[in-house]
Copies of this chain bind each other. A is one copy, B any other.
């Protein structure tokens, strides 16, 4: 490539992505990821599930009132949560699906599957211990990394000229 200072404008523009952050809502991984991008000077719109775990569990009855038993309490809460997910995914340019070291995280896998089938590019984040259990999602993802720092580096690489 020619010296970019010759022909390119001084202020190289960067893409501003809308990134859906799929993963559990118990730990603070989203805050850490947002900080990692901010620390690299990357602006983005962050989408994702409700991050307040208590509110996420209660939202069905909070809106609709007490339901008859735990199954319908859960179903109604989940309907509000999936409404949110479907609206947010329509905006997403990129899904970052992060598996951490505990919880079932079936929503993370389902969101990743939805991204693949909907043609939304997918970055998978998972530690070495999950290599085998997540090998098919590794193959389906566009990129698989082990840490949030690596995911942030990848986002930097794709948004900067």
Chain A interface residues toward B at CB < 8 A: 1-2, 4, 6-8, 13, 15, 17, 25-26, 28, 31-32, 34-35, 45-47, 50-53, 59, 62-64, 68-72, 74-75, 77-88, 90-91, 93-94, 99, 104-119, 121, 123, 128, 131-140, 142-146, 150, 153-154, 157-158, 161
Contact = CB atoms under 8 A, between A and B. Distances in A.
B117 A118 contact: yes
Contact of A8 (B8, B34, B99): B34
A83 B143 contact: yes
A84 B135 contact: no
Tell which of A32, A50, A79 has the most Cβ of chain B within 10 Å.
A79
A80 B25 contact: no
A106 B63 contact: no
A113 B117 contact: yes
Contacts of A105: 106
Given A74-B131, A114-B116, A153-B63, A161 B51 contact: yes
13 contacts: A7-B28, A7-B35, A15-B91, A74-B131, A75-B138, A78-B135, A90-B121, A106-B133, A107-B137, A110-B110, A112-B113, A113-B115, A114-B114
